[in-house]
A and B are shown apart, each in its own frame.
Chain A
Amino acid sequence: MELLKHSEEENEESLKHFEEKIERGDSIEPRDTMPEAYRKHLIRQMSQHAHSEVIGMQPEGNWITRAPSLRARQILLAKIQDEGGHGLYLYSATETLGISRDEMIAQLHAGKAKYSNIFNYPALTWADIGAIGWLVDGAAIVNQVSLQRTSYGPYSRAMVRICKEESFHQRQGYEIMTKMIRGTSEQQQMAQDAMNRWWWPSLMMFGPHDSESPHTGDAFRWRIKRHSNDELRQKFIDKTVQQAEVIGLTIPDEDLKWNEEKGHYDHGPIDWDEFYRVITGNGPCNRQRIAHHKKVHDDGAWVRIAAAAYRERIKKQNDNQ
């Protein structure tokens, strides 16, 4: 996109505009002047978000051919297709900040850009597909609802679109869990086992405690982040506990109890050692996730090359006419 400039305004002056806009709660648009650190922060956060949507297709994709019914297979396929779409919305929003999708993918492959740690865990049984939709998408929704009001316009608009699509993801997961818990004793065990394995990693999705990542950071000042990690985590716990109770699943936390005074659930300590072990590359699936992404990307190269060659040929034909 080309910018048509009329006047050369001082950069300092337009940075003042930026601060004023943030102060007023206006959204920042791609062609507004913005501090370099704001741009960098967004590129890191948004590309990580995009990569998470795409890498997140892997644990679920693993179950498409093994879904227990045609209905279940159609639903899972549609859900995973949505996640691919979410990745595309977010890549396209990130590109407005001046980084190309090529660069973002190269950063992912080089390990410079991260994706959500949760996708380094495997989906072992069909109940895991239930737990992922209900808990992992459920946690992602809490975060994404908050990000609908983030200060960067294209990011905020992508979040609005994504949130509209997410509620079916969580419902389909909860429906699977409900069916399994009402099934045979073996199916009930599978559901509880999936719950036990996915609960804590889901809580970790919100990131370190606020005491470890202070409120006062740039992300808050620039209104990129609107709620703290612990606030969002609490919101997720409070609404999920009730849903677990309704279908008779036990939350694997002995310290979990309602705190009348606070009006929230208290929960036991999160194992951050495990979190850092997995996020630094030593989770069950880290290597497999990136290797698979690289392979699919490389296998698809001929399609992109052929499409570009076809465009060149058509252009030449038109030029010769």
Chain B
Amino acid sequence: MATDSQLEIWEVFMQSKSGANYIHAGSVHASDKRMALQNARDTYTRRGEGTSIWVVPATAIVASDPNDSEMLFDPANDKIYRMPTFYTMPEGAKAI
């Protein structure tokens, strides 16, 4: 027999217009996928803010540890040859 609870947490991602990235909007409580989608629509798109919604059980999301951010993201800074400005183009070359 199920007991009274506030149901599970689902994270909500919304696409604001066709072609745009899905962006995290917040979360809702729901017992299943269908209810999660309906609640997400009622909660986060009362003014036509979105064209499409993803819902994901919060427990399915894995996050990086903020304390690791240096280790994870700093190496990018010394690989400046990944930036187009690193390269010298011959004078006169166009559209490159």
Contact = CB atoms under 8 A, between A and B. Distances in A.
A43 interface: no
A95 B9 contact: yes
Chain A's interface: helix, strand, loop or mixed, by majority?
A: helix
Contacts of B30: 307
B59 A2 contact: yes
Given A85-B43, A89-B26, A17 B67 contact: yes
B78 interface: no
Interface string B7-35: 10101000000000000001111111001
Nearest to A29: B66
B1 to A, nearest CB: 8
A1 B2 CA distance: 24
Interface of A: 1-7, 9, 13-14, 17, 29, 31-33, 78, 81-82, 85, 88-89, 92-93, 95, 100-102, 105, 157-158, 161, 165, 301, 304-312, 314
Interface of B: 1-7, 9, 11, 26-32, 35, 42-43, 46-47, 58-59, 61-68, 71-72
A17 B68 CA distance: 12
B63 A85 contact: no
B58 A1 contact: yes
Nearest to B29: A101
B66 A95 contact: no
Nearest to B42: A85
A165 B48 CA distance: 12
Given A100-B6, A165-B47, A308 B31 contact: yes
Nearest to B35: A307
Contact of B4 (A4, A93, A304): A304
A7 B71 contact: yes
Contact of B7 (A13, A82, A161, A307): A307
9 contacts: A1-B59, A17-B66, A29-B66, A82-B46, A93-B26, A307-B32, A307-B35, A308-B5, A310-B32
A95 B46 contact: no
Given A82-B46, A88-B28, A2 B2 contact: no
Contact of B31 (A2, A161, A310): A310
A305 B65 contact: no
Contact of B26 (A32, A101, A158): A158
Contact of A304 (B7, B27, B65): B7
Contacts of B32: 307, 310-311, 314
Contact of A301 (B4, B9, B26, B31): B4
Contacts of A31: 63, 65-66
Q: Which of A5, A165, A307 has the most CB of B within 10 A?
A: A307
B68 A5 contact: yes
A4 B64 contact: yes
A28 B64 CA distance: 15
Contact of A1 (B6, B62, B66): B62
A118 B85 CA distance: 58
A297 to B, nearest CB: 9
A169 to B, nearest CB: 13
B63 A305 contact: no
A4 B71 contact: no
Nearest to B62: A2
Contacts of A2: 59, 61-63
A95 B46 CA distance: 22
Contacts of A29: 66
B65 to A, nearest CB: 5
A6 B27 contact: no
A110 B30 CA distance: 25
Contacts of B27: 92, 95
